[in-house]
Amino acid sequence: MKIYIDGEFFDRENAKISVFDHGLLYGDGVFEGIRAYNGRIFKLREHIERLFKSAKAILLTIPMTVDELCEAVRATCEENQIEDGYVRLLVTRGEGSLGLNPESCKRPSVIVIAGGIQLYPKEYYEVGLTIVTAPTVRNLQNAVNPAIKSLNYLNNVLAKIEASNAGCEEAIMLNSEGFVAECTGDNLFILSENVLATPPLAAGALYGITRNVVMELARKEGLEVVEKNISRYDVFVADECFLTGTGAEVVPVVKVDQRVIGEGVPGTVTRKLVAAYHDLTRASGVPILKEG
């Protein structure tokens, strides 16, 4: 495996950053998870543009342009002969002092890792997930805004631990008002009376790339798609439920907090959206190998 760090490729064993990097010391940085399918990088520019928005929100200047960063991701995939895989792109504040002051960091670092990922076991896509509601709530909008994909993911990690302690792969995170925000790493959708609903960004949901794609696909299927506050009750009585994310793709949910969702199996609409999403990912994206 070859890791891209600040314009150079390193073997995994030699891919290192300073212990004084503020990304390590304080979670001071931003990241993206990106997928490659069939030799193409799916929604690459959208991911890079979201990364730049996260960086802007924390006053972090990325030392590359959007086009340069897109090329770095493509080149890393090519270097690692990726056909179907996962890319983790990070921008840290860079090496600085032991103090909090970000002005001690003279230059941000850009890191690109391209490899494989299997977020959920394959059988969960066929039989559906059982999930719980985590006691840990989502970050407040006026704290570390959930729209920022920062390197400080401890909020999500704690909720993930709570899911694991309950014997589940995933957990719903509520916001401070008690409405559903998202899950630890995925956006959440419910289908009720042929209306597909997902929490709004203001509720603490991430501006998900896969979320947006699925909303577009659902509208093409003739569904009404809305963003609205969703309570646990709404989830319990929904006809169908599923999660979306770059790593997860589209995964059905069949039980939440011991309440069976719908018939207790992946629903018809969910299965249609899973198929439509797979068709799209196989046929679109930025080619990893340059033409000619």
Catalytic residues: 149
Give the whole-angstrom CA distance, residue 57 versus residue 280.
31
Is 74:48 a contact under the CB 8 Å cutoff?
A: no
Residues written for the chain: 292
Contacting residues for 65 by C-beta, under 8 A, at least 6 apart: none
Q: In what order do the strands lie in the sheet with 85-92?
A: 8-11, 2-5, 109-115, 85-92, 29-37, 40-41, 286-287
Neighbours of 223 (CB within 10 A): 17
Give the whole-angstrom CA distance, residue 41 versus residue 35.
6
In the chain, DSSP finds a helix count (H) and a strand count (E) of 8, 16
Neighbours of 219 (CB within 10 A): 12
Neighbours of 17 (CB within 10 A): 16
